[in-house]
A and B are shown apart, each in its own frame.
Chain A
């Protein structure tokens, strides 16, 4: 009987690893990519400092960050524009993507009808249709949001459809014996079960949305990071161009990380989150 009384404590402990333990785990996992990043940085610095390549081809890290500091207002203003386009495009893509996936999973007819169209929308190069959006929607943020949406949409739909279909049929049968209607079955069983898949799609979508927004800006705009990069390119202003690239990457990484954090809180139960103190790493 003693063992059953000790058990709850053990269970609780495994559920909530102590903060320090968690932080340590994070450091253990994070040092490799950080080290790699530092290495790339050093390489970048060596290439430019030794004069191996001309400064107008590759700006040095020093020049790049000096430019960012110097023209911080300028960069901030344009980053906000791109951020807004990206986030709006991504959120719309998530919403439309999830709804489309749900409809497709519940109606085979609609799925068969939509699939070729989806594929068509995916394979057509966005950079080729972006000018058309500018013609239709003007020089404002709308065409950029549309391109970001189109880029992020596909991975969201595909992952959500996969997630909703991966449900164990026996779970649905169980739900039927409980007399649950399709709505209850959906939000208590099917939706939660599909979330791990959805999140992998969202993460891909978030990074693609940044690309989409910038592609939209390349085609026709007078604001945003895409515009900054294009202007810099035209003026042979390599430090500004590199600054734009750096900010763009940071933006993408931040959005990706944001979705990861959200996933961490929404899916504490998922296999990828389990910390089993007793098992050795496999």
Chain B
């Protein structure tokens, strides 16, 4: 249930993701890398949060922390009320690379989710068909990953992440490989899916317009060490027509502010 006023302090609603004073250090043979430092964020249930920042600032690392695939060196993470210590299955994850199994057709890649979870197969097949139609993959269900374009592969990965209707959806640059027009359509589609399902979404993206169009709040990060610079509330109406939103002064304000922050972050290097 998206809040009517997206700027409302998340603390007043029930929180879905809570990141408290987290730090992540990677120790490699050559050197230690502080990927994240002093990061705190809380995401309300049903909220859509976009994360932007320069390459290497720890965006992917942040998503892996929330899913329990990575342990923080310091701090605490809570997901849906429980402490995260180990991989969580109550999420949907779209990885930065599509990560499809090359011996499975598009449909069977999507259904992997159901097989792994032991979902009833008839219901899963119906749901897969629904998602295939929704993401415009109709006609390519039986194609193998090497027969799909990069954008189609990402859409298959998206369908796979949505199959089990997860309460929390983590997306790592899911539309990076799409052309501008398809990307726009996928943005509209994702916004619609989110509004219908009430899923909490954390979306990493490099596109500022995408972040602002989709999100209730945009997290702007900076690198070395990766940390949160600012949280930008997006005060756009819940109903967001694509064209009208682009022309909205609030849209211009939010994108401008983010652009300033990111520009400052890179020129500070």
Contact = CB atoms under 8 A, between A and B. Distances in A.
Most buried by B among A175, A177, A179: A177
Contacts of B143: 11
A274 interface: yes
A131 interface: no
Nearest to B96: A170
Contact of A192 (B88, B101, B146): B101
A27 interface: no
Given A8-B140, A8-B142, A11-B147, A180 B116 contact: yes
A271 B147 CA distance: 11
A192 B102 CA distance: 10
A274 B144 CA distance: 11
Interface string B118-147: 000000000000000000101110111011
Contacts of A15: 142, 144, 147
Interface string A2-40: 001101100110110000000000000000000000000
Contacts of A49: none
Interface residues of B, number: 29
Given A174-B93, A177-B87, A188 B116 contact: yes
Contacts of A177: 67, 69, 87-89, 91-93
B95 A174 contact: yes
A170 B115 contact: no
Given A11-B142, A14-B147, A274-B146, A179 B101 contact: no
A170 B117 contact: no
A71 interface: no
Nearest to A12: B142
Given A184-B116, A274-B146, A8 B139 contact: yes
Interface of B: 64, 67, 69, 87-89, 91-93, 95, 97, 99, 101-103, 112-113, 115-117, 136, 138-140, 142-144, 146-147
28 contacts: A4-B139, A7-B140, A11-B143, A11-B147, A14-B147, A15-B147, A168-B99, A170-B97, A173-B69, A173-B87, A173-B93, A173-B95, A175-B116, A176-B89, A177-B91, A177-B93, A178-B113, A179-B87, A179-B89, A179-B116, A179-B117, A184-B115, A184-B116, A188-B112, A188-B115, A269-B144, A271-B102, A271-B146
Interface of A: 4-5, 7-8, 11-12, 14-15, 168, 170-171, 173-180, 184, 188-189, 192-193, 267, 269-271, 274
